[in-house]
Structure 1
Amino acid sequence: MLRHLKFRKNFFHKTQRRFASSGYYVLLPQIPPDTFSTSETNELLNTTKVPSSFKIESKKFRDAIGLLSLNFESNVWKVEMMLKDPTYSRLKLLSDLDSSELDYAVAITTVVHIIENLPAFDKLLKRADQARNWKYKSGPIYYAVKELLADNPRNIQLQHHVHMGKVNGVELTPKALHVVEKLYADISSDLGKFNENISSANAAFKHLIADETHLGDMSITDVTAIAKDKSNPKRGPWVLNLNKQCYNAFMENSPVQALRWNLWQAYHQRASDRNRNNSVLLENVRGCRRRIAKTLGYRNNAELSLETKLAGNVHNVKSMIATLLVKCMPQQKKEHERLQEFATSQGFESTLKPWDVQYWRKKEREHLFGLQDLTFPYEETLASLLKFTSTLFPIEYEKVSDTHYRIHDKSTLVGQFVLDPFRTATKFPGMYTIRNKLFTTLIANFEPPIHGKQSCLTPQELTLLFEYFGHLLQKCFAPNDESIPVDFKIPGHFLTYWLGNKNFVESYLGLKDERLNNFLKSRLHFAATDVCHELYLSDLGLELDLSEEFWHDLVKKMWPTYSATELDKNKHLCSSILVHYGSQYYGDLWSRMLAADCYRAFVELREPKDLAVDGSRFYKSLLDGRDSSQPSERFRSFRGRDPSPDAFIWSIGQSCKFGRPIPGSCKCGTEKEPICGSDLEDYKNLCEFKCAQDCNPSLVKFKGLLYFKSLHDVLKKSGTLKRSECLRLVQDQSWTGQKLLNHCHRVNTEDNASSTEPK
């Protein structure tokens, strides 16, 4: 036996020595057992056909993700080899790195994961993400794309690739790259533990309710969800948990303050005790992000996060937050004073606490507007939504089945979508839009039709349907996900603003008279308070990336600025999604601001026929995926200027003067007032033009467009360029300030007509 063991030891020793001279080892990846799956045997490999059902064997997901991940990684290596060939056309680089087949499989896997709640799919999706990220870690590809970007500096896909390559550390030394990769791994691990702690805290809390009156006015759906005997939900007992749906339903409806207090404390203290403490993990994630940003050459993680966003930089986001806060904070105080007065009039004898606000908000809303029984039939509402969007935009819908639709622009197929609208026992709560190259899926959790009774939507669900249908349209038309920054999700919020339009609600949703007016007013109930809370989270998300202060100190310092109520000592960030979003949390609020500005353009119309004209312009500028322009340019092409917060302020019931933009700054560092903050490129060009003579030009406002005093002087001398013509150039041809300036000089040179000063 010893002789045999000695022989095997020498055998492996000789083998190792024999291959050592080659300088490297070749490690063959594990190949899925069903390597030769085809589109006929596996639906996830057929990227030309929308699946008739998402009931697919789990084995097919594993095989498809494994095979397509390997194929994509090997394709990246193949492209690296082709780059060494001097005859290779680098213009084909992005198309050769196409990951649409893998993206298709990932999208369907994500959809099934949401519908069926399959934990095993988490590993599959993580494996696919690693494969898709592989192209950004390639040095040869990164520098080739960087050369292409130098020739095409406005190309969004090239910009995104270079940014992702830089974030993945392609430009770093091997030692620094190793440090960054270790920090990324630590962040992933800590965020995983962060989520696990919240899940454990949710599972640990149970509170038994034996008295049905303690449930208040909870809907039968919510009561069924917490009933022990779901076949007879009214019988009881009922078990409260920390699921968000259960939490909100109970906090809004239970008349027992002590029970609300208990649930509020448990919900906001999740993962903050000694055994499950997310505070340390939160600080670890912040520290790792800070180190990564500095290693990559950024001052902080906020600067890194906003580099490719529409807002552009921290200053612009802060300006937006400050502008909205000035208008909303006074109104928030009035809303809370009014709520306290209402609660007192109803017999409430103490000061409102955080666990009282949701309950009394609902009571006041019902008292003022009386819309407790207002619902909207799902099928009719969806039909109205399809009819309205096909009237507003130059598109038509083709119904393939009850859940599958095709979208046509004239005779061209431009998109497809699949609906999965109804709640099931396994489906994740919330709403989702999942995109792939072939179609987009909208997943919702509406009450399903039962016993011949049709599905009906509450006013809150109605708003969600409009918002996510807008997101769905944007994703259907988008060439890729990179073309939709987090602060450019305009169409979804744009559609929700029509729910505040009297003519639309009357024509498409069928509400009349007093019920119609109450519905419109109810949409503004506590609007300023909700906006202030979003402003608080947006600013806090920025400060978590900007500051090194302990998170709790930041909360205590910032809360009074944004809230009319006192901060409870037990309200923690240990279970907040803010740690995942950080500086990017502002994106939804920024998108709402842009959407309100776009909606205002339709409200300003005087002729009904102009609705379709402006709808067509909106579609071509902000929806059509064939437009590869920068998001900021696309917004300007529709509005004729940079965005203004005034329409958003107006949309939440506050008075304002239109055309007042967000403050910004010149390239030279001199603060200029006013200037919008979405994309300052054109303003910087104008500023540099003027800075050659004078670094402090005076600005004049002209129908929302800002330009310099020198331009105003040119207009005075140019009799042919009248106010109406200037406005037409800006709105219809989307002329930038620099182009308009050049046009004015040309008109002034060619025509010596009498002076006409614009008003």
Structure 2
Amino acid sequence: MAVRLGICRLGCRDLFMRRQVCSWKRLNIYFIILSIFLVIQVVTASTCPVYNILYYLPIDRYCTASQENNPLLQQDGLPKFTQICAEQVVPAIQKLTADFDRNRQEVEEKLQVFGADAEITWEDVFNPLEIGGSKLSYAWSVVNHLMSVKNSDELRSAYQQIQPLVIETSTKLAQSRVIYDAIKRLNQSKRKLDEAQYRIINSSLLAAQLGGVELTGEKKEQFNNNRLQMAKLSMDFSNNLLDSIKSFNIILTDKKDVDGLPSSLLQLMALNAQQDKTNVNADTGPWKLTLDIPCYEPFMKHSKQRELRQRLYMAFITKASYGQYDNSDMIENIRNLRQENAKILGFKNFADKSLKSKMAQDVTEVMTLIRNLKLKSKSAATQELHDLKEFANSNGFHGDLSHWDLPYWSERRREQLFNFSEEELRPYFPLGRVLQGLFSLTSFLFGVKIKPADGKVEIWHEDVRFFDILNEQGDHIASFYLDPFTRPAEKRGGAWMDTQLGKSELLKTKPVAYLVCNQRPPIEGVPSLMTFREVETLFHEFGHGLQHMLTTISYADAAGINNIEWDAVELPSQLMENWVYDKNTMATISGHYQTGETLPKHLFDQLIKARKYNAGLSMLRQLYFSALDMELHTSTDPWMDVMKRVSEEYTIMKPLPEDRFPCSFQHIFAGGYSAGYYSYKWAEVMSADAFEAFQEVGLTNRDKVAIVGKRFKDTVLAMGGGMHPKKVFQNFRGRDPSPDALLKLYGLS
């Protein structure tokens, strides 16, 4: 019954828009330009595919609203991205929602024919719903995806116009009493079903209850109105954040202002400035400083200009908190609507409602985990901050450290303690080599092959790549897109995995995933050189992708990441991160972009030691976010008061009075982590314990490691939402998860 109409975005790393106006006049110009390129290609016998030229034309070059030519309705293969434009969204979704609603009514009519004693089957209920919902899910997932990677004013407008219709249509299904009662009868029938089917039935019943199926009258009307408002507010929240980041920049022209910055950052900042049509180069500038993470983080770590660090930091902590992009009131509106709907359903607060569908039993259990980890990490964090202050004072800094000093001095201390810098590692991690090593590891552990399939499908940007996954017999079982580079003008920040298609035996579909990152692109002939953190991020998102793509569950509603309790969904992604610290893996993912030399042993050894550097501060930061999220969804106090209260308990250096972090807390106000941010730590307990299973057999014992890898594939990756995650973990590990491995990992045991 769970029709996937929302955007399922996983992943998550720390916390953009070309105008697309369609007109026949502009289309004629584009066809003339294209004709010229065609002539040039014929004359020069160029082997460069002409379709690459199309990426330099606006996305609406084929814009048409006619239904017969609408690419969102042509679903015989993967999306025709080069043909999709904003103008096509509304007519396509209008048609598909109408078809979807008509299918629901037909299912209801057939179910109402069944007598009281008649036996209802799985095929009577779930098959027609899966078939009937597939086309709308397909198109809506494409629209959501483009909103994240190819955002524009026109696409936003279309999305805002049609989103209420999608929500209203899906709400009618969620609140269908006829279908709800039929599923209850199916659950009580004597007909034998498998474990995955029972899981789907139970989660569908719960989803219907949480979706208001048992509400009537004014309560039902208010509940549904609130859902519409929340959906709009969440999208507005995300757009405000994106626009706020996009609107801020600092143009630097004085050489002393970039003193100490690594060459890779200078190149990126020069590229940023070049986008403003300025004649620049990395050596002479100008340089454009932005809040985009690939620019912000290295600047804060390496800039010797304290005043510039302060200016950038203050802009960062006040994102989307003032002016036309202010999310301040939106936070309270979202909280109030969530709280109101939770109470309509009979819950004390929104957190209680959220946890109803998660592994954690209640708020008390969540806060017990958070506070226990805090006890283990806060004293370590206090000592780490003390040591950092002493280090800064002994190296020429006078006075108290401010928030904008911490990244800079933390990086200087890391360099002294471990005798390497992050920038020193970057040349060893060109994207191509990292991918090669990641795919090699995946083949070794899970018995699959990953092959490039570029040119096989249409893509939304020339930098996007496409890959196929084959099983041990050489059969094609899944595919994925990879969009690796930052594009602040149209692509939101962070990193995530999303689904394009899921596995379904009924629909005969194979899994297809989107893997999206935001690292520095190739610049002036130099390939994309990754920071070590970006390598970890790629492994993380690929872990999500593997769970989606290597599933063996045949029902769409439980295949891959579907139907997995949210606080367990980070298990495979966080486990994959551990492999970058494995010596054998490092030998395959590293290779200097000029010499091919793998990361030297002394650097790798230091990298292992540095893993626990400032582990207490890092742990405490995540616990602060988790506790803040939970408190925002249990308390009715104003969010600023909540933030102040939680920060007193969970931070060493208190946030500045100007700090408005919740205004950019996209995970909980425009993502799937509301009253669920703790999931990162909950799942990390499982992932650390799961990786210890590999360590116990000895990471150098490749035969035994491969056996453990197969077991992980056959349990965690294969079962997806077809089995409760606690049972899945027990099948893999032979017992319940223990937090000991996580504490040991961070040196906090």
* CA displacement, residues 189-222 of structure 1 (integer Å, 9 cap, x when unaligned): 5445545654665566554433232234151343
* Contact in 2 for aligned 1:223/1:233 (Cα 8 Å): no
**Is 2:483 the counterpart of 1:420?**
yes
- Say which SS state the counterpart of residue 643 (structure 1) adopts: coil
Q: How many angstroms does 1:134 deviate by? A: 3.7
**Is 2:588 the counterpart of 1:588?**
no
Residue 199 to residue 456, structure 1, CA distance change in 2 (3 Å): closer
Seq. identity, %: 28
Q: How many angstroms does 1:512 deviate by? A: 3.3
**Is 2:665 the counterpart of 1:576?**
yes
**Is 2:436 the counterpart of 1:383?**
yes
- The counterpart of 1:442, out of the listed 515, 540, 556, is 515
More RCO (CA 8 Å, sep 6+)? 2
- The counterpart of 1:433, out of the listed 491, 497, 501, is 497
Q: How many angstroms does 1:168 deviate by? A: 2.4
Whole-Å Cα distance in 2 between the matches of residues 423 and 33 of structure 1? 31
Q: Show the 5 A alignment for 1:583-662.
A: 583-606=675-698, 607-625=701-719, 628-655=722-749
**Is 2:305 the counterpart of 1:305?**
no
**Is 2:447 the counterpart of 1:374?**
no
Q: How many angstroms does 1:354 deviate by? A: 1.0
- 2:26 matched to which residue of 1? none
Residue 653 to residue 46, structure 1, CA distance change in 2 (3 Å): farther
- Say which SS state the counterpart of residue 655 (structure 2) adopts: coil
Q: Show the 5 A alignment for 1:96-495.
A: 96-98=128-130, 99-122=133-156, 123-124=158-159, 126=163, 127-150=165-188, 155-192=198-235, 194-195=237-238, 198=241, 201-202=244-245, 205=248, 207-216=250-259, 217=261, 219-227=265-273, 230-234=278-282, 235-272=284-321, 278-369=327-418, 370-371=420-421, 372-375=423-426, 376-401=429-454, 403-411=465-473, 412-424=475-487, 426-435=490-499, 436-437=501-502, 438=510, 439-449=512-522, 452-478=525-551, 479=559, 481-488=561-568, 489-495=570-576
- 2:102 matched to which residue of 1? 74
- Say which SS state the counterpart of residue 567 (structure 1) adopts: coil
Instruction: Give the partner amino acid of 1:602.
Output: F
Q: How many angstroms does 1:596 deviate by? A: 0.9
Residue 180 to residue 394, structure 1, CA distance change in 2 (3 Å): same
Residue 620 to residue 180, structure 1, CA distance change in 2 (3 Å): same
Instruction: Give the partner amino acid of 1:471.
Output: H
Whole-Å Cα distance in 1 between the matches of residues 76 and 339 of structure 2? 44
Residue 104 to residue 328, structure 1, CA distance change in 2 (3 Å): same
Instruction: Give the partner amino acid of 1:97.
Output: L
Whole-Å Cα distance in 2 between the matches of residues 564 and 75 of structure 1? 56
Instruction: Give the partner amino acid of 1:474.
Output: Q
Residue 179 to residue 633, structure 1, CA distance change in 2 (3 Å): same
* Contact in 1 for aligned 2:467/2:479 (Cα 8 Å): yes
- 1:500 matched to which residue of 2? 581
Q: How many angstroms does 1:177 deviate by? A: 0.7
Which protein is bigger by CA-based radius of gyration?
1
Instruction: Give the partner amino acid of 1:232.
Output: V
Instruction: Give the partner amino acid of 2:425.
Output: L
- Say which SS state the counterpart of residue 482 (structure 2) adopts: strand
Paired residue total: 620
* Contact in 2 for aligned 1:506/1:516 (Cα 8 Å): no
The farther-off stretch of 104-113 and 315-324 is 104-113
- Say which SS state the counterpart of residue 407 (structure 1) adopts: strand
Whole-Å Cα distance in 1 between the matches of residues 85 and 645 of structure 2? 52
Whole-Å Cα distance in 2 between the matches of residues 198 and 448 of structure 1? 23
Whole-Å Cα distance in 1 between the matches of residues 302 and 296 of structure 2? 10
Q: How many angstroms does 1:54 deviate by? A: 4.6
Q: Show the 5 A alignment for 1:694-733.
A: none
* Contact in 2 for aligned 1:544/1:582 (Cα 8 Å): no
Whole-Å Cα distance in 2 between the matches of residues 426 and 347 of structure 1? 42
* Contact in 2 for aligned 1:324/1:645 (Cα 8 Å): no
Residue 417 to residue 605, structure 1, CA distance change in 2 (3 Å): same
Whole-Å Cα distance in 2 between the matches of residues 257 and 42 of structure 1? 53
Instruction: Give the partner amino acid of 1:418.
Output: Y
Whole-Å Cα distance in 1 between the matches of residues 148 and 324 of structure 2? 29
Q: How many angstroms does 1:533 deviate by? A: 0.7
**Is 2:153 the counterpart of 1:91?**
no
- 1:687 matched to which residue of 2? none
* Contact in 1 for aligned 2:65/2:87 (Cα 8 Å): no
TM-score normalised to structure 2 length: 0.76
* CA displacement, residues 55-110 of structure 1 (integer Å, 9 cap, x when unaligned): 54555555543332222121111111111121684412112111222222233333
* CA displacement, residues 670-721 of structure 1 (integer Å, 9 cap, x when unaligned): xxxxxxxxxxxxxxxxxxxxxxxxxxxxxxxxxxxxxxxxxxxxxxxxxxxx
Instruction: Give the partner amino acid of 1:417.
Output: F
Whole-Å Cα distance in 1 between the matches of residues 295 and 400 of structure 2? 25
Unaligned stretches of 5+ in structure 2?
1-63, 456-464, 503-509, 552-558, 591-597
Residue 121 to residue 133, structure 1, CA distance change in 2 (3 Å): farther
The farther-off stretch of 314-323 and 401-410 is 401-410
- Say which SS state the counterpart of residue 349 (structure 1) adopts: coil
The farther-off stretch of 105-114 and 533-542 is 105-114
Residue 374 to residue 207, structure 1, CA distance change in 2 (3 Å): closer
4+ residue runs over 6 A deviation: none
Whole-Å Cα distance in 1 between the matches of residues 679 and 75 of structure 2? 32
* CA displacement, residues 644-683 of structure 1 (integer Å, 9 cap, x when unaligned): 111111112233xxxxxxxxxxxxxxxxxxxxxxxxxxxx
* Contact in 1 for aligned 2:431/2:530 (Cα 8 Å): yes
Whole-Å Cα distance in 2 between the matches of residues 627 and 184 of structure 1? 26
Instruction: Give the partner amino acid of 2:127.
Output: S
Whole-Å Cα distance in 1 between the matches of residues 229 and 143 of structure 2? 26
Whole-Å Cα distance in 2 between the matches of residues 191 and 511 of structure 1? 43
Please tell me the root mean square deviation across aligned C-alpha atoms, in Å: 2.9
* CA displacement, residues 393-440 of structure 1 (integer Å, 9 cap, x when unaligned): 132334433733332333354322222334456433332322122411
- Say which SS state the counterpart of residue 618 (structure 1) adopts: helix
Whole-Å Cα distance in 1 between the matches of residues 691 and 682 of structure 2? 14
Instruction: Give the partner amino acid of 1:576.
Output: F
Residue 58 to residue 81, structure 1, CA distance change in 2 (3 Å): same
* Contact in 2 for aligned 1:332/1:529 (Cα 8 Å): yes
Whole-Å Cα distance in 1 between the matches of residues 272 and 452 of structure 2? 37
- 2:30 matched to which residue of 1? none
TM-score normalised to structure 1 length: 0.75
Whole-Å Cα distance in 2 between the matches of residues 201 and 453 of structure 1? 30
Instruction: Give the partner amino acid of 2:424.
Output: D
Q: Show the 5 A alignment for 1:560-575.
A: 560-572=648-660, 573-575=662-664
* Contact in 2 for aligned 1:90/1:144 (Cα 8 Å): no
* Contact in 2 for aligned 1:477/1:625 (Cα 8 Å): no
* Contact in 2 for aligned 1:251/1:359 (Cα 8 Å): yes
* Contact in 1 for aligned 2:685/2:742 (Cα 8 Å): yes
Unaligned stretches of 5+ in structure 1?
1-31, 656-759
- Say which SS state the counterpart of residue 482 (structure 1) adopts: coil
